[in-house]
Amino acid sequence: MTVAQALAPLVDLIWPPRCPLCGEGIGAQTGLCTPCWSKLEFPEVEDGVVAAVAYNDPARELVLAFKRGGRISLAPVLARMMAARLGPLDGDWLAVPVPLHRWRLWQRGYNQSALLAREVAGPAGARLVVDGLVRRKNTPSLGRLGSVARAHVLEGAIAANPSRVAQLAGANVLLVDDVLTSGATTRACSAALKAAGAARVKVVCFARVGLD
């Protein structure tokens, strides 16, 4: 018996493989149990935007556990679904997360999109540039704002990191977000990347909120 084999029951006892949604035991640390998995909805891939799942109730629970509940161990699970929907990329790509303002980063302790970008980059064959974009203004939640107000709030809020501009110029960029709602934030990010000379920008997110 190897040490790993000897320790396996102990590891399972400390951290049993459980479905993050319902808590049911699952065979391995691979993701969700089959009944929870079957509740997820898989949207059509739109031009330029790839979403792993639609933002329905189970998807929202996953995101909230990941984002607010500090369940950073969910990052590989969510990212695996994103990478599977993304498929292989042609050519060289950089993976850049939607940036979080440093105050929010400080409050939460991590940028959820950066964790996803780190996990998606590998299977997608992209190189992670975690600080490709920076948030210069701490913007309020965009949830209740109309499209014009959203664009106004975001004006000048997101920019390419000056120390990354040389790397971004001419590059294909995979922009990584956790939840895509109106698309205002990803549009601001795309504009900043294009302004820095990015050749192509493709958006990949975990969950896509239905267009309103």
Interface with Zn ion by CB under 5 A: which residues?
19, 21-22, 24, 33, 36
Is the CB of 26 or the CB of 198 nearer to Zn ion?
A: 26
What is the nearest approach in angstroms of Zn ion to the Cβ of residue 115? 22
What is the nearest approach in angstroms of Zn ion to the Cβ of residue 13? 20
Is the CB of 36 or the CB of 126 nearer to Zn ion?
A: 36
Is the CB of 41 or the CB of 92 nearer to Zn ion?
A: 41
Spatial separation of the C-alpha atoms in residues 48 and 132, rounded to whole Å = 19
What is the nearest approach in angstroms of Zn ion to the Cβ of residue 30? 12
Cβ atoms of residues 174 and 126 within 8 Å:
yes
What is the nearest approach in angstroms of Zn ion to the Cβ of residue 36? 3
Is the CB of 50 or the CB of 78 nearer to Zn ion?
A: 78
